[in-house]
Structure 1
Amino acid sequence: MFAILNEIRVLDLTSVVLGPYATQILGDFGAEVIKIENLEGDMFRAVRPGRSDQMGAGFINCNRNKESLVLNLKSERGIELFYRLVKTADVVVHNMRTRTAEKLGIGYEDCKARKADIVFCNAQGFGEDGPLADVPAYDDIIQAASGLAYLNADSEGHPRYLPTIVADKVAGLQLTIAVLGGLMHKQRTGKGCAIEAPMFEGLVSFLMAEQMAGQSFVPSMGGTGYERLNASYRNPHPTADGFIALLPYSKQNWIDFFHLVGRPELAELEIVTDAVKRSENINQLYAMINEISPEKTTDEWCELLQDANIPHTRVNHLDELIDNEHLSAVGLFQSYEHPSEGSMLGVRSPYVVQGIEEVEDKPAQLLGEANAKILQELGLNEQDMQQLLADGVI
C-alpha cells in the first residue's frame, strides 16, 4: 500500500468484481476505503474455493486494504448512518443501476445534499441515457453485447466468452480513473461532481480503439476489425515440443527473422519490406512462421530469438506463473497470514512507486469486521450498536 491518497475517504457500495477491483486500487494507493455491505454481505464472498463460507478466494483477491461495515440501507436507521458517513467522505462509489440507487436514497443528489463537494462515481451495465439503462448486466452480458464474444469466436464461428472477467475489470480500471479525475477536479475547483462509467460503453470504447478500422472514415473504407489481430494464424506458433509466441513486429524484425531461419529470399519480398503491404498480408506472413516454427524446440527458439532481439516468449500455463523466474524476482506473488483464513498466497499491487512511503497491505476483512471502529467514530456506544444489531440495521 502506498501513501498517495492518504486522508481520502471512499465509501464503497460496490460488489462482486467491477467495483471492488476499482476500490482495491484506491486502497492500494492509500485511500481509506469503507466497504459497505448488506446483511448477507457481498455475494462474491460465497464463491468457491474458500476455507470458510464468507471468505472465498476471489473475494479476498479483490478486497484488500478495505474496512468492512455492514449497513442495512433498506432501513431508516441504516440510511441515516450512511448519510452521516457521507458527511465525512470524499468519494462515494457504487455499481447499482442509477434508479436503484435513487430509490434507496443513495443517489448523487441525496449524497450531494449532505456533502456538496462529494465525488460520486457509478458503473452500471449500460449508460443512463440509453434504452438499456435498466437492463441488469454482468460480465458475460457485456462481453456478448460489445462484440467481444464474436471477436473470440471458435473455428466454426461460434461466439465464445473470454475465460476472464474482462468486462468487469476494464470497467473497474475506468471507474478508478473516473474517481481520480473527480478528485483532481475537486482539488482544483473545490467542487464535487458525478461521473458515470458504464460497462457496455466502456468495453466498446476499449475494443474500438483498434477495431473501428475502416469505419473510422466517412465514407467508410471497409468494415470494423483490425486485420492483424483478427488474422486466423495469429496464435502461438507450434514448435517441435510445444508452442511459442513469436512476433516480428517491425520491418527489421521480419528481415532479421527470415535471415535467422535461413530464408533470406523471403526477407526481400514486398510484403516484408513495405509497411502497407505487410499490414495487408499479415496473415500470409504468420502462416510462413507456422510452417517454419515446428523445426525447433521451444528452448531452441527462445535462445535464437533472444540473441536476435525479436519479441517472443514461451507460452505459460497459469500454474507456471507462481514460480515464474521474473515474477519471483519482482515479488508479485506474496505469502502472508490472514487473521481468519490462515496461510495465503496473494498477488500484490503491480505498481512500483518511488519517493512515497509504502506501508503493509491489510488483508480482506470478515463481514462487518470494522463495524465497531467506524460506528464509534460516529459517536455510537456499545449499547447503541447492540440495538442496531437487534433491529437488523447492522
Structure 2
Amino acid sequence: MPEPKPGPLAGVRVVDLTAMVMGPYCTQIMADMGAEVIKIEPPQGDNTRYISVGPVSGMSGVFVNVNRGKRSVVLDLQEESGKAAMRALIERADVFIHSMRSKAVTKLGFGYADVADINPAIVYTNCYGYGRRGPERDRPAYDDTIQAECGLPYVQQQLTGEADYVGTIIADKVAGLTALYATMMALFHRERTGEGQEVEVAMFETMASFMLVEHANGAMFDPPLGPAVYPRTVAPNRRPYRTKDGHIAVLIYNDKHWNAFIAAVQPPWASDLYATLEMRAHQIDAVYGLVAETLAERTTAEWLALFGELEIPAAPLNTPDSLFDNPHLNAVGLFETVDTPHGKVRFPGVPTWFSRTPGKVRGPAPELGADTATVLEELGLDPAAAGGAPTPTFDAIGPG
C-alpha cells in the first residue's frame, strides 16, 4: 500500500474569524484534515481560552481541543492596520469563516460583498444564531437558548418529567458539523466550476431540522396524523435498565432481536400482543416497562454475555473519563498524544478513516498571537505596523 498522503484538505487555507465552539469546532476538523487554519483573535483572545481548566491561563481544555493545529494571529480589526492585514490574508485564502452577527462583520468591512471583491473565488461561511432572512436575525444565541428554542428541553420533559438541557453543548457541535459540510460542499462546487459563494449556517435552523428528523413524525402530513413527536424516544420507561448490580443499555427492537430474547429468557409476560415491531411500537412504553422487570433479575455481566451471544445491541454505561481507557477506542487509535509547551496533551483525535489521505491532530493549540509575526511576514507586511504587537499576558485573568 502506498504511503499516506497529507490530509484531504492539504493546500486549503482558511481564515477563521470564529470564537467559542460552533465555528472553532468546524475549523478544528478542517485543521485535522490538513487545512492551514489561521485563527484571527482580538488582543484579548477568544473567550473560550478562559472557560475551563488548563495548565496555564488562556489555554483552557475546551479551547485547546477545538483550536488544535491552528495558527493564532492577533489583529485589531477596529484599526486600519489590522483591516489591511486581514484583507491580505483574504486575498490568499480559500475559505473565510466567521461567527459575528451580520451587522457587526459588515460594519468592520468584511461582509460577503467586501470579501468577494478582494477574492471572488472564496467560500465565505457565516455562522449565525438565526438566519438573516428571519425576524430573529439580530438576536444573540448560545447553546442553552437554542436547545430551548428547538424543543430539546420539552422532549426531555416528556421523557423524564423535568424540562432539562441535554448534558452536552449539542447545538454548538451539530451546527459546527453542519457548517463543515456546507463549506465542503461549496468548495466542491468551486472545484467543479471555479465559482466562490456565500454560505449561511444558523444554529436555530440547524437544530430545528435536526430535532425534526424523527420528531416531525405525524405533523408532516396534511392533514396532520399526530403531534410532532416520535413516541419511542420520549417514552418515560426509555432509560438505561437497572440490573441486579448496576445498569445496562439495550434495545431489543426489531423482530429478530425480540424473538431471540423471548426464546432465550422466556419471561412470564411474553404474549402475542407484542409479537411484531408494529404492535410493540404502538405500546412502546409498556414494552420498556416489562423488559425492565426482567433485566433487574440478572447482573450486568450476565446480560452482556447473553446479548452478545444473541447479537442484540447492548452496552455498559461508561463515563466520559472511562472513554480514555476504552479498549475499542484505544485499539482504533482514536486518541493522539501531542507534546505542547505546557506538557503532553492526549487529544480525542480524528474519528474518521481515509485509506489514502488520513487526518490527524496537526499540533497543539496556539498561544494567543503566537503566529502573528510569522504570518504577517509571509504576507510581506511589517508585524509592528500591522497590529502584530507583542502578545499581552493574562496572568490576572481566571477562568470565565
Task: Tell me if TM exceeds 0.5.
Answer: yes
Q: Given the superposition, is the C-alpha separation of residues 249 and 191 from structure 1 closer, same or farther in structure 2, using an over 3 Å criterion?
A: same
Q: Residues of 2 paired with 1:166 and 1:344: CA distance?
A: 24
**Among 230, 241, 244, which residue is 1:226 paired with?**
230
**Among 268, 291, 294, which residue is 2:293 paired with?**
291
Kindly state the Cα deviation for residue 2 of structure 1 after the two structures are TM-superposed. Answer: 4.7
Is 1:271 matched with 2:274?
yes
Match of 2:249? Answer: 245
Q: Residues of 1 paired with 2:269 and 2:143: CA distance?
A: 48
Q: Residues of 2 paired with 1:156 and 1:309: CA distance?
A: 29
Q: Given the superposition, is the C-alpha separation of residues 66 and 383 from structure 1 closer, same or farther in structure 2, using an over 3 Å criterion?
A: closer
Unaligned residue ranges in structure 2 (runs of 5+): 393-400
Deviations 1:114-155 (A, max 9, x none): 011111001110110111100000100100111011112277
**Among 215, 220, 223, which residue is 1:216 paired with?**
220
Q: How much identity, in percent, do the aligned residues show?
A: 40
Kindly state the Cα deviation for residue 93 of structure 1 after the two structures are TM-superposed. Answer: 0.4
Match of 1:389? Answer: 389
| Amino acid paired to 2:224 | S
Is 1:122 matched with 2:126?
yes
More deviation, 131-140/277-286: 277-286
Q: Residues of 1 paired with 2:150 and 2:204: CA distance?
A: 6
Kindly state the Cα deviation for residue 297 of structure 1 after the two structures are TM-superposed. Answer: 0.4
Greater RCO (CA < 8 Å, at least 6 residues apart): 2
Deviations 1:2-35 (A, max 9, x none): 5211111110000010000000111111111100
**Contact 2:6 2:357 (8 Å CA) reproduced:** yes
- Secondary structure of the structure 2 residue equivalent to 1:50: coil
Q: Residues of 2 paired with 1:157 and 1:248: CA distance?
A: 24
Q: Residues of 1 paired with 2:317 and 2:359: CA distance?
A: 33
Kindly state the Cα deviation for residue 81 of structure 1 after the two structures are TM-superposed. Answer: 1.1
Q: Residues of 2 paired with 1:46 and 1:307: CA distance?
A: 48
Match of 2:306? Answer: 304
Q: Residues of 2 paired with 1:375 and 1:154: CA distance?
A: 54
Deviations 1:132-181 (A, max 9, x none): 10000010010011101111227774311111110000000000011101
Match of 1:344? Answer: 345
**Contact 1:150 1:157 (8 Å CA) reproduced:** no
| Amino acid paired to 1:362 | G
**Contact 2:156 2:234 (8 Å CA) reproduced:** no
What is the TM-score normalised by the length of structure 1?
0.94
Q: Residues of 2 paired with 1:156 and 1:283: CA distance?
A: 13
Q: Given the superposition, is the C-alpha separation of residues 71 and 254 from structure 1 closer, same or farther in structure 2, using an over 3 Å criterion?
A: same
Q: Residues of 2 paired with 1:383 and 1:360: CA distance?
A: 31
| Amino acid paired to 2:9 | L
- Secondary structure of the structure 1 residue equivalent to 2:77: coil
Q: Residues of 2 paired with 1:134 and 1:261: CA distance?
A: 58
Q: Residues of 1 paired with 2:383 and 2:17: CA distance?
A: 25
What is the TM-score normalised by the length of structure 2?
0.93
Q: Residues of 1 paired with 2:344 and 2:201: CA distance?
A: 36
Unaligned residue ranges in structure 1 (runs of 5+): none
**Contact 1:2 1:358 (8 Å CA) reproduced:** yes
Match of 1:335? Answer: 337
**Among 16, 27, 46, which residue is 1:12 paired with?**
16
List 4+ stretches of structure 1 deviating above 6 A. Answer: none
Is 1:365 matched with 2:351?
no
Q: Residues of 2 paired with 1:206 and 1:374: CA distance?
A: 38
Q: Residues of 2 paired with 1:317 and 1:31: CA distance?
A: 32
**Among 196, 210, 213, which residue is 2:200 paired with?**
196
Kindly state the Cα deviation for residue 74 of structure 1 after the two structures are TM-superposed. Answer: 1.0
Q: For this pair of structures, how many residues does the alignment match?
A: 387
- Secondary structure of the structure 1 residue equivalent to 2:231: coil
